[in-house]
Structures are given as structure tokens and as C-alpha cells.
Structure 1
Amino acid sequence: MTGPAPITPTRPGSRPDAAPSRRPALRLLLPLGFVVAVAAQGVALRPAGVDLPPAVGILAFGAAIVAAAFALAWAGEAAELDISGGLAVGLLAVVAILPEYAIDLYFAFSAGSDPAQAAYAAANMTGSNRLLLGFGWPFLLLVAFLAQRALRARRAADADVLQRPFSIGLPRENRTELGLLLIASALTLIIPLTGRIDVALGVVLLALFVYYLVRVARTETGEPELIGVSRDLGALPKRARRIVVVAIFVLAAAVILALAEPFAHSLVSGGRALGIDDFLLVQWLAPLASEAPEFVIAILFVVRGRAATGLGILLASKVNQWTALVGTLPIAHALGGGGWALPLDGRQTEEFVLTAAQTLLGVAVLLSLRFSGRWAVALFVLFAATFVFPSTEARWLVAGGYALLAGVLAVVRRRALGATVAAPFRRT
């Protein structure tokens, strides 16, 4: 059974056929209508004076934020028809973690007048980073393995399908992300040494992120392969498509920014009602909701046989979080009435060390541009170990394990390490 035909974007100056465009428009009514309904219920509950039980607030506002993020992801994919493919992947990664930005920046802004909120900002940021790499990368490889296994059952004679051991290969262009991650990790080591995130460091990290977007904007890619709702958006006439995509970006972003504050309050209130530590609740529950869109997008690519693209999206998201997200925290804190640095206590400093060490191992694992099962297991086991053994001593041991493995891999793959460090600065 053959699938739908690929989309051919409308050429400039041509007049799109009006008849075929009605079918994609009709198919868009159901998914976009569902997203609007879910988002609308959260917006309706937003006005001041509506006192919701914490569990209801978490579900209502969280579902609205995730729904809006999915709409943004669809629009981001469809935008690949109008902008550079490399830039589209980078922006798509930004779009997918917009809920994370909204929630984390709210905590950082609030910390300007309420210093206790600084702990939540650090918790949310480090939790989302470690969840993405420690769970997201290994889970993506598992999905890719299962998808390949299903393909192998249908095409047992194909030598490529029988490839062992299983791994995901990345194109050389992804060395740019790896090099920038390495540089950002070196810069963020300043944070645990000083016990704070300075605005100056934030500006440098933001500049690194802008430089990343400029670099990927120059990357040449082939014709995008859209699926599902994104495909129907892409099938619209060019002018209609651009209007709809921009409208989705603006409206969905407005919903997310409007609901970030009540969602954050519901999380904290719910944790206190259940006797759960506020720090752990904000660190893990909020990222589970805010990271869902990018996980789903990456998995869709993997299921369609584009595992490298799926892993590339998660890699781009990691670059976004480790540069732009970390960089905006002290700026939001200053705008909220705080000083020129976001202060961190001992526990938050420990979280940054653990996250930085995990990031270094993630970069070292991908120096060969291949992500294999054994390293996926290693990343997941070390990630899970901090839940099984939550003591401070155990967490420092895990951070040491990350750093030791990263150092060994860096020595073994020293040639690839040099190429990776130089990649962001080479001519495209």
C-alpha cells in the first residue's frame, strides 16, 4: 500500500490550484480545532480570582501548554518549505522547548523579587537538560531499533537492515552542534566555581546561540519530507501557508506565555499538598510536560526511517537549552528586580556540575558521529542512578563517572575531538 505523494512547494510566481488546496484545509480543521479547544480551556481558567485545586491546574494549564507547543511544532516543520532546512531544524528545536523557556524564565524573573524562586529556575533548567540527554537520547535509539527490527522482518535479505551492532549515524554537519555544546559546557563550568550565573556569561551564551543559528542557516538541505498535520499545512498555497504558519506561531506562543505562571504555581502547590519536595517536583514533572513535543517530533522522524534527523532535533534542542536557556536566566532575574547575577546555593551548584558532566559525556559519545546501544544504556543507567541513590555523595560519584568516561572517550577519539572543536568555525 503506497503512502501519500511528497509535497512539491509552490514555485514563486505560479498560481496554485485552488481545488486541491481545499482538501488539506479541511483535514486541518480536526487537529487544529482540537488544539484550539485544549488551549482555550486553559486560557479560560487563567483570569485572576479563579482558585483551582493544584491537580486541576497542573492538568488544565499543562495540557494547554503542550497543545500549543504541538501546534508550534507543526508550523515549524511546515516552515521548512520557506526557509533553510538547517535553520528550520534549529528553530523547530527552539519552538518545541518554548514551554520550557516560558516556565523557567518565569521562575528566574520571580527570583528578582523572591530569592526562593531561584532554586526552581535552576531545578527546571537542569532537569530538562538531563531528561533530554539521559532519557530522550536512549529512548530514541530504542524506538529506532524497534523500527529497524520491524523493517528487517519485511526485508530480511537487505544487508543494511541486518547491520549489527545497531547504531544511529549522524551527518558531518552535526559536528557544529557538538562543537558548540563542548564550548558551552566549558563556559558553564564557571557557574559552579562562582556559585552564580552572571549576566555577562548569559550574554556570551546567547551570542553563541545566535552564532549557531547563523551557521545552520547556511546549511544546504534537500526537499523537506512533511508528515501528518505539517504535510497538510505545507500543501496549502504559498501565501495561505505563510499566513497560517505565522498565525499559529503568534497565537500558540501567546498561549504558552500566558499560562506559564499559573502552571508553575500549580506545580509548586501540588507538590506541597502531596508532601513532595518542591525542588524535585519542578525539576522533573515540569520538564516531562514541556519536553513532550520535541520527543514526539523526533520519534515521528525515527518511525519514518529518518533516525538521524530525529537525533539531530534532540541534539539541536540540547544546544538551545545549554546556551539560550541558561543565558536568559540571569537576564530575566535582572529584569525582575534582582541583581546582575542569579545566585545559586550548594544544591543548585551540584545540579549544574552533574548536568555539565553529563553534557560532556554526551558530546564524547557522539564524537564518532554514531550513537550505539551500549552508550545509550550507559547514559540511561547513569541518569537513573541519581533517582535510585539520591544522596549528595552518590550524585557526586555519578558526576565523576560522567567526567571519567568523557575523558577516556576524548583521548581515544582525540582526532575526532579536534575536528569537532574546529567544526563551528570552518567555512561552510
Structure 2
Amino acid sequence: MTATAGVRRNWPLALPVVAAIPGLVLRFGGAPTPAVLAVLVLGAAVVGAAFFLSWGTELAERDIGQGLALALLALIAVLPEYAVDVVFAWKAGQDPETYAPLALANMTGANRLLIGVGWSLVVLAALAARRRRAPDTRPEDRSAVRLEPVQTVEIAYLAVASLYALTFALRDTLNLLDAVVLFGIFALYLVRVSRVDDDDDEEVGELIGPAARIATGPARTRRWAAVGMLVFAAAVILAVAEPFADGLVETGTELGVSQFLLVQWVAPLASETPEFIAVLLLAWKLRGAAALGALISSKINQWTLLVGILPLVFATSAGSLAGLPIDPLQREELFLTAAQSMFAVSLVAAGALSRRGAWALLGLFLAQFALAWTLTPDLAQIERVGLGALYLLLAAILLIRNRRAMWMTLRDGLTGRALQAERSETG
């Protein structure tokens, strides 16, 4: 291969670095910068770092797959999402009235974006790819993305985390007990996933993009590349997280726009974009189940690690055992987010997400997103509670209709009985 050809093949690796450098210069240069411009520059740095996180994690999974390594990889994967939240949670420990309402904003936005946009677009892209590239697909597979039997683990633990999250709307605080419960759910999830991986001896999923090219090289090169990407990405995110968070608040003040809405949607959009691109490429390569499974796993990470760390950071900053305050707006946002999550669980309870279900998730999300920016505060309150109630009503109808499938999913996902029986029969 010529040097020119090598440059052409590897130029995507330079893009995240190019995106991150201006943000680092702004962070450490100290030059006065308008808030809006600062948010754009620092947000680009977050996007670049998130791409490196995505590629580095994919490469690391070739060599590290279980136990503490899985926990560390999951922690790294949600770093862009919780970096901004941690900044606000820490500041809330010193000034609860100002920053506590913002501490959960990024989390609720990231969670709803992941399901409302991520899940739905993956399914729609996968079905479109099948129609164009695999016209001989069975009729039942033309209208839904069907998950693998082992992915009942993700569905079951997402159901458990979502049920627990519904209780947040009844609270005045998120406390250290919540952190213990949520970290415990995530730890149990890791144990179940590692057992499934051990028993099934599954091959590592196909890589795409720059990660795929690096993976074809020597193992030593792959490992150093993974470490370098993860370290660089983590350093960038840690460097720009605080000024990015402050810039969002200042931008809201300058433009007369809700600071809460900016924190809730701009930061998650920056951090989720690389993952969305990666899973959409997977879906287009006729690996819809793997793509949807990755987003379900990310949802579990957000509901457990991301939420659980906030009261821990708040208590550390405040120097007390007090919980992170939840005001009425946050209770409504948490209720809406948990209700959407329960609706999503009900849609995949039978092991598949249909085209109709994907459009329902996308349509309801877009409607709520548009109304959040246009309604008055009083009407927005009615909209949040009303839409949350609608999500729960739809979830209840679907779960009652598919109660047998949901029960089997919970049993298999939490205990693995059916999977063990299947292996005994085939072994």
C-alpha cells in the first residue's frame, strides 16, 4: 500500500483530533469567547472525543470482555453523558437552588433521545436495508427487528431499572441508597451478561470504520490504539466538561432561552451522535439485532451508572449524606422519562421491535420535544404529566396483551433457566 493510499484509508482517525483541538485551545488558552461560540467549539470537542470512545471501546472488547473490565468499559462508554451531569451535581452541592434543577437535565434528555430517536431510527434503517439489500427476507422479518434469545438479559434488566426509576417521581431527593440500588442492578446485569458470554462463547461483533481497519493489524498495535483512544477521549472530556456546562448556562442567559432545555438537549445530542452513527451503520449492514441490543445496553448504563453517580457526587461536594434535591419540574421530567422507558420495554417484551412501534417511539418523542420549546410553563407541566400517563397506559395495554412473553423474558433474562434448558437439549 502506498503512503497516499494509507492516508486516504486512515483520514477518519484524524477528524476527532481536529474537532477536539480548538476546544482544548479554548479551555487552556483563556481567551474571552462569546458563550454561543464557546458552546459550539467545546461541543465539537465532545463529539470528537465520543467518536474515539466508541472506536476505542470496540477495539478493547476484542481483548477485554468480562468482570471489572466490562464495568470499566461501560463506565467509559457513558463518560460523555455523565461528565456534564457530574459538573452540575458537584456545583449543586454548593448551590442547590441554582444547579440542582440542572443536574438531572442532561440525564433525562439523553435517556429520552436514546429511545425516541436511537431505537426508532435503528429499526427503520434496518428494515429499509432489508427491503433494498435482502428482498428474500421472510415476511415476518420485514416489519420488525427481532432480538436474539440471549438479549432477554438486556430487556429484563432494563425493565427492573425502569420500574425502580418510576419511584423517583414520588421523591424529594435522590440519595445514597438510590446509588447503592442502581449500582447493584448494574452489577447484577454485568454478572448475567458475562455468564451468557461464557456459556454461548459468542464471537465478537463485526467492527466497522476505523476500528475495523485497526483490528486487522497486529494485536499489540490494536491494544495500544485502544488505550490511546480511550485515554485521549477521557482527557478531552474531563478538560472541556465544566466550561461546556457553564457555556450552556451562559448561552441560555444571553439568548433568553431556557437553560434547562439547552442542558437537556444540546449536551446529549453532542455525546450521543457517534453512537447513533455506529449503530445505524450496523443496522444498514443487516445487523439490526446487534444495533438495537447495543442501544438497549446503553440505556441500562444510563439508568443505573449515570443516575446512581449523581447523588454520590452531590453528597461528596456538600460534605453530608443529604440527597440531591428534586424539584417539581424534575419530578415531572423523571416521570416522563421512566414512563417512556416502560413503554419501550413493553414494545420489545416479545423479543422484537416492529416498524409500527418504532414510529410510535419517534412520533411521541418529536411531539414532546416540539411542545417543550413552545408551550407556556403551565401547559408544559400538563403536557409532561399527560404524555407520561399516555406512555404508561400504552405500556400497560401491551404488557397485559403480551404478559406471557414478558414473564418469560423476565424469567429468562434474570435467571437464564430457558437458555440453560435449551443448551441441555441441544448439547
Alignment TM-score, normalising by the size of structure 1: 0.88
| Alignment of structure 1 residues 33-112 onto 2, 5 Å | 33-47=14-28, 49-84=30-65, 94-112=75-93
Query: What CA distance in whole angstroms lies between the structure 1 residues aligned with 2:361 and 2:337?
Result: 12
Contact (CA 8 Å) 2:51, 2:274: kept in 1 or not?
A: yes
Change in Cα spacing, 1:332 to 1:85, as seen in structure 2 (3 Å) is: closer
| 1:260 and 2:250 are equivalent in the alignment | no
83-92 or 242-251: which moved more? 83-92
Aligned position for 2:401? 412
Give SS of 1:81's match. Answer: coil
Residues 29-54 of structure 1, C-alpha deviations (whole Å, 9 max, x = no match) = 52333322322221121127332111
Change in Cα spacing, 1:385 to 1:234, as seen in structure 2 (3 Å) is: same
How big is the shift at 1:338? Answer: 5.6
Query: What CA distance in whole angstroms lies between the structure 2 residues aligned with 1:76 and 1:191?
Result: 31
**Structure with greater helix share of residues:** 2
25-34 or 94-103: which moved more? 25-34
How big is the shift at 1:384? Answer: 2.5
How big is the shift at 1:236? Answer: 2.1
Residues 78-107 of structure 1, C-alpha deviations (whole Å, 9 max, x = no match) = 223213399999876654432111111111
411-420 or 311-320: which moved more? 411-420
How big is the shift at 1:321? Answer: 0.5
Contact (CA 8 Å) 1:85, 1:217: kept in 2 or not?
A: yes
Aligned position for 2:410? 421
Query: What CA distance in whole angstroms lies between the structure 2 residues aligned with 1:87 and 1:372?
Result: 35
Specify the code of the residue in structure 2 equivalent to 1:84: G
Residues 292-350 of structure 1, C-alpha deviations (whole Å, 9 max, x = no match) = 11111111111111111111111111000011101111001112226431001100000
Change in Cα spacing, 1:105 to 1:212, as seen in structure 2 (3 Å) is: same
Specify the code of the residue in structure 2 equivalent to 1:176: V
Contact (CA 8 Å) 2:127, 2:142: kept in 1 or not?
A: no
Contact (CA 8 Å) 1:301, 1:310: kept in 2 or not?
A: yes
Query: What CA distance in whole angstroms lies between the structure 1 residues aligned with 2:58 and 2:141?
Result: 32
Matched pairs, number: 404
Give SS of 2:93's match. Answer: coil
Percent pairwise identity: 43
Aligned position for 1:217? 194
Query: What CA distance in whole angstroms lies between the structure 2 residues aligned with 1:107 and 1:294?
Result: 24
Specify the code of the residue in structure 1 equivalent to 2:31: V
Counterpart pick for 1:282 among 255, 260, 263:
263
How big is the shift at 1:27? Answer: 6.4
Give SS of 1:368's match. Answer: coil
Aligned position for 1:251? 232
Flag structure 2 segments of 5+ consecutive residues without an equivalent.
Answer: 373-379, 421-427
Aligned position for 1:191? 168
Contact (CA 8 Å) 2:24, 2:236: kept in 1 or not?
A: yes
Residues 114-162 of structure 1, C-alpha deviations (whole Å, 9 max, x = no match) = 211111111111111111111211122222232223215xxx4x243x6
Specify the code of the residue in structure 2 equivalent to 1:143: A
| 1:397 and 2:386 are equivalent in the alignment | yes
Q: What's the C-alpha RMSD, in Å, of the aligned pairs?
A: 2.6
Give SS of 2:353's match. Answer: strand
Flag structure 1 segments of 5+ consecutive residues without an equivalent.
Answer: 1-19
Aligned position for 1:241? 222
How big is the shift at 1:223? Answer: 4.4
Give SS of 2:21's match. Answer: helix
How big is the shift at 1:228? Answer: 1.9
Aligned position for 2:290? 309
Aligned position for 1:16? none
Aligned position for 1:344? 326
How big is the shift at 1:231? Answer: 1.2
Alignment TM-score, normalising by the size of structure 2: 0.88
| 1:325 and 2:315 are equivalent in the alignment | no
